[in-house]
Structure 1
Amino acid sequence: MDVSPNKGAGLSFRLDRAAAALFASVVPDPQAEPVDEPWLHAHLADEGYDKLRYLPMAITGLLAQYNSGNAVEALKIAEVVDAELSITISGDGMFAVLNIVPAQGGKAVSKADVLDQLTEKGVTEGILLDDINRAIAAGAAQNVVIARAKPAVHGADGRLESLLPAARSRVPRLTETGQTDFRDLGDILTVSPGQPLMRRVPATAGMEGITVLGTPIPAVAGKEVMFASKLAGAVIDPADPNRLLAEIAGQPVVVAGGMIVEPVYTVPAVNMASGNVSFDGSVVVRGDVAAGMTIKATGDIEIGGTADPCMLEAGGNIVVKGGALGGVGRKEHTDSLIRCGGSFTAGYAQQARVEAGDSIFIDDMAMQCELAAGNHIRVGNKRRGHIIGGQALATLSITGKVLGSPNRIATAFEVGVSPAMNRRMQELAHERDAHEKQLLDISKLLVFADRNPSRVDPKMVERACATAKNLSAEIEALRDEEQRLNDLVMLSQQARVIAEQAMYEGVTVLMGTHRYRLARDQGPAQIGLVGGTLDLLPPEAPPAAR
């Protein structure tokens, strides 16, 4: 700053604490040199007045009067301003925020000021002293949270925990992204009578929360889960109602609402000597199944050797550790078929007809087969992974290391929603509508009975309540299956046919009304919807769910 003795000559300042203002006076001095606003601000800072709130118009007027040689008496040019404090509480009482407008030469906000205002506003819970201290030290704050409610901790839903990690599941295992794993189902696990199967973990009530104003926040209790009323081969432990025990020896299978135990029938081989097998449970064949034989099981079928052209029907999974041979294109074995409600796994398949409710997994090769799966088909794990000739249909993905062959053998693939799935969705909707109508009728009866207790037999009311409970459970199960199928329909829009190593001319892909025929041999390739048209996907396209 210019320190010339004539600069600012005759200019003086007075801080009036009572008026909370800084006043300037000018006694004209003929020797005074003109000053400008930067000089004035620097001079005021040297005098210790730099933190005040200046009045720009007054500063301009003071400079004009001083430089014109006019006298000025007690012109107010700045104000002493205290810090401003405000606390706002959110409408739901979940937090309180602090705003501090910094002081300008006046009194700063103290911690006591903040705490006093919190008390005035009724804030008693969740006060954050460290955040208050930081705001006070800074001298300013903008929407700083200084009190936070303790939220309610909602209760955890009850759950059923398997005490047998290796137990197979009949519950659909498809994830939200449509993923499923190639798995070797291995040997059938067996349990003995009295062996623990599952434990029911009850729902929890949760923990109540509290707002910053001290108002309780109620917790939502978790949804309870119970063992299903009828679980074949299993019984609730008389000494512990939360534990499920095996009632018979057999194979444990996870189902909705618990676990069942299916009897296991074991046979060295199925041939003319053993006869056909029809069993309410699971069947284990240690050796081979001869041509023309039939095995029907409500549970799983496991074959340790090879299945020649035969009939295999299972409510659960089918595992053929050797290979599956079929009758596609062979007049003498036109009635051979493999059908299961779960997944089908085999070392290889040749001319086989396979229908799986879940997925089909073949380790080595599928040659001239007819394959249909509700979710995925994958050929190739540790071995070659060739799909040559025939047809393959799956909702979400068909994957092989090599699709087709250099000889251009016609190989057809179809992905997306099948007509059978559409029919099932319609059946579910009709069944649910019928149940809901029946439940409505029972509800009307119960309302009438409640208003006229003397006119309705109590036993009838008891039966109606039991029926209503069962109907509600069935409706919930139908809705769950409808939701699962709807999710599957959404996922099917991303369906893919994938060749991990090569795809050859002769491959045809269908998806609804769309059709694509491969015109030339490709290396690794994917075919799916591109802009509403079935086509080869670019190399950077994300892989389909597996």
Structure 2
Amino acid sequence: MDKQPTEGPELEVSFDELTRVLSVSIAHDPHFPRIDALWLRRRLEAAGYADLQIRPDPIRRLIAQYNAGEAVAPVEIAQCVDASMQIGVSLDGLVARLSIVPAKGGKPASKTELLALIESRGIVEGLLLEEMNRAIADGQADDLAIARGREPEPGKDGWLEYLLPETRERVPSVRPCGRTDYRDLGEILVVHAGDALMRRHPPQPGVDGVNVYGRPIVARRGREQRFAPGLRGTAISPEDPELLVAACDGQPVRVRNGAMVEPIFTVDAVNLATGNIDFDGSVRIRNDVQAGMTVRASGDIEVGGVVEPATLEAGGSIVVKGGVLGGLGGKTAGKDYSAHAIRCEGSFCATYAQQARISAGDSIFIDDVAMQCQLEARNHIRVGKRLRGQIVGGHCRASLSIHARTIGANSRIRTELEIGMDNGLEHAIQEKAEARDALENRLLEIGKMLTFADRHPDRVTPEMLGRAEQTASALSGEIESLRSEEEDLQHRLALTREARVNAEREMFEGCIVRMGEQLFKLSQDRGPTTVRLATQGLGVFPLEDDSRFDEPQRPAAASQGSSRR
């Protein structure tokens, strides 16, 4: 039968009111040769000392001494401990948090002591009385917010309002939609000298915040948005310094932080009579480009007829309303034109292409047939509008997708297709990450200074503290911006891993698909087909929808220009 809590040897308890220490002594009783910690705890509870803070080591020695058959002289085994409170303030000074270690037989935390501690820390703003009362009532707290400052509201940045409708940007433009929108070729807007292009709106002021010490946190002022320097073909209106106007007639092109007006050079044809063309603007050629000629333009190039084996280079897009005959097939009329190629920073569009080398900074659109061509696009290759839509032979390379009605031929001609490669992405992601790491290291150093200021407020001036807090806030904003840009690049990198080849009707044996180190050779003719990365490498599947990608925008044609040759 278990002993009752009062059974056992005689325990003498002595509490020193001055030192608030509890001592016990035990006379050895042969009827109770052994005791343990449970017996001692029950005896202390019966004596009313259960809440004191126990000293484990003296208790172990006491029990061992008694169980060895010895009497135990008075031993200090417990003491009264008052509750303790601590307040920590976040680095930005916006939140004060309370921690209460509960009393062990001593005085509990009181609201009077808490208010005195708050006052000693200089905390005056945003006190949360309900949270403080609850913590005092509970007798304990763990990083409980008891004061909150008011965060500053940053000012709205100035912005540029583009005043012209339906103008393409120089950079690739994307829009969410399902299927390819092969709209009819249209005209690009032309402006005249004095026409308004863009209005600059001033920044808006922010709303200052305040930290828990009652010190103001200066809101970040809205950044002023300036027009980019060197906007060709434009000027600031003499009547309105916030208005950008055209300085000449031409094609408006929206660029980063502004717009430019590019004059359009118009010529009937490019041949030996006209000579090569190298023009700072957009070029419109009404008819054909003869073999061996070169056309270079900083803007767009539009060709109304056929491009024979020639060189076309554009800083914008290229539209060929006829077709392209390249020089990859060998000599033409005894001349070697294989070095000629077509390159553009935007998108390329033509009715057909044969033995041509074409590269585009955005996407390639061919309405009828791409035969024995070398095609390379940063985003998409689309072959097929109202006509056959066939890729036959050659090599096609695109980061996101290659899409045609028919790929390959009954003759099983070798047709190579490469998807999912964009080496510049990983480099750009690394640059963003390194820039973000540098800013985070600066923020860490400022955080150390703010921690020092919190612990030694008398050694840091309010002006220095305010500047540090403002710098920390600005760095946090820049870090978030870089992180967002890095995530956008990561998203595009993820899209390249979902790259695919789609054949709407047929895909023939002889087609070879590459994606990095992965290689897939089609061993038999297939109907509507998708080739993409699967768990075990590249695999072939029934035709899948590729609407997960933003649809590439087909380039428009250049309009009538004001200069002629």
The verdict on a shared fold, with TM-score over 0.5 as the criterion, is yes
When structure 1 is superposed on structure 2, of 247-256 and 324-333 the one drifting more is: 324-333
Cα distance between partner residues in 2 of 1:118 and 1:14:
38
The corresponding residue for 1:316 is 316
Q: 1:244-267: per-residue Cα shift (whole Å, max 9, x none)?
A: 234566532112441123456899
Cα distance between partner residues in 2 of 1:60 and 1:224:
73
The corresponding residue for 2:325 is 326
- 8 A contact 1:324–1:346 mirrored in 2: no
Query: SS of 1:408's equivalent?
Result: coil
Q: 1:462-497: per-residue Cα shift (whole Å, max 9, x none)?
A: xxxxxxxxxxxxxxxxxxxxxxxxx99x979x7998
Does structure 1 residue 349 correspond to structure 2 residue 388? no
The corresponding residue for 2:474 is none
1:407 to 406, 411, 435: 411
Give the CA deviation at 1:85. Answer: 1.9
Cα distance between partner residues in 2 of 1:32 and 1:385:
102
Query: Aligned in 2, Cα 1:385/1:97: closer, same or farther, shift over 3 Å?
Result: farther
Give the CA deviation at 1:169. Answer: 1.5
Query: Aligned in 2, Cα 1:63/1:13: closer, same or farther, shift over 3 Å?
Result: same
Q: 1:5-27: per-residue Cα shift (whole Å, max 9, x none)?
A: 97369657676655534565779
The corresponding residue for 1:370 is 373
The corresponding residue for 1:198 is 198
Query: SS of 2:41's equivalent?
Result: helix
- 8 A contact 1:26–1:70 mirrored in 2: no
Give the CA deviation at 1:115. Answer: 3.1
Cα distance between partner residues in 2 of 1:362 and 1:41:
86
Query: Aligned in 2, Cα 1:190/1:165: closer, same or farther, shift over 3 Å?
Result: closer
The corresponding residue for 2:101 is 101
For structure 2, the 5+ residue unaligned runs are 425-488, 553-565
The one-letter code matched in structure 1 to 2:531 is A
Q: 1:418-459: per-residue Cα shift (whole Å, max 9, x none)?
A: 9xx9xxxxxxxxxxxxxxxxxxxxxxxxxxxxxxxxxxxxxx
Give the CA deviation at 1:296. Answer: 7.7
The corresponding residue for 1:444 is none
Query: SS of 2:103's equivalent?
Result: coil
- 8 A contact 1:236–1:242 mirrored in 2: yes
Give the CA deviation at 1:63. Answer: 6.9
The one-letter code matched in structure 2 to 1:370 is C
Cα distance between partner residues in 2 of 1:277 and 1:91:
65
Q: Calculate the TM-score normalised by the size of structure 2.
A: 0.58
- 8 A contact 2:307–2:322 mirrored in 1: no
The one-letter code matched in structure 1 to 2:501 is A
Cα distance between partner residues in 2 of 1:340 and 1:26:
99
Does structure 1 residue 500 correspond to structure 2 residue 499? no
Does structure 1 residue 359 correspond to structure 2 residue 365? no
Give the CA deviation at 1:73. Answer: 9.3
The corresponding residue for 2:112 is 112
The one-letter code matched in structure 2 to 1:110 is S
Identity %: 33
The corresponding residue for 1:178 is none
- 8 A contact 2:396–2:418 mirrored in 1: yes
Cα distance between partner residues in 1 of 2:242 and 2:14:
85
Does structure 1 residue 236 correspond to structure 2 residue 236? yes
Cα distance between partner residues in 1 of 2:275 and 2:283:
12
Give the CA deviation at 1:499. Answer: 2.1
- Aligned pairs (5 A) from 1:82-161: 82-89=82-89, 96-125=96-125, 127=127, 129=129, 131-144=131-144, 146=146, 158-161=158-161
Cα distance between partner residues in 1 of 2:498 and 2:8:
85
- Aligned pairs (5 A) from 1:460-475: none
Give the CA deviation at 1:406. Answer: 4.6
The corresponding residue for 1:187 is 186
- 8 A contact 1:370–1:391 mirrored in 2: yes
Q: 1:222-280: per-residue Cα shift (whole Å, max 9, x none)?
A: 6644224544444433443223234566532112441123456899x9899xx999897
The one-letter code matched in structure 2 to 1:326 is L
The one-letter code matched in structure 1 to 2:198 is M
Cα RMSD, aligned residues only: 5.9
For structure 1, the 5+ residue unaligned runs are 176-180, 422-486
- 8 A contact 1:6–1:32 mirrored in 2: no
Cα distance between partner residues in 2 of 1:417 and 1:23:
78
Query: Aligned in 2, Cα 1:2/1:496: closer, same or farther, shift over 3 Å?
Result: closer
1:388 to 392, 403, 419: 392
Give the CA deviation at 1:309. Answer: 4.1
The corresponding residue for 1:80 is 80
Give the CA deviation at 1:133. Answer: 4.5
Give the CA deviation at 1:343. Answer: 2.8
Query: Aligned in 2, Cα 1:399/1:16: closer, same or farther, shift over 3 Å?
Result: same
Query: Aligned in 2, Cα 1:406/1:77: closer, same or farther, shift over 3 Å?
Result: same
- 8 A contact 2:99–2:143 mirrored in 1: yes
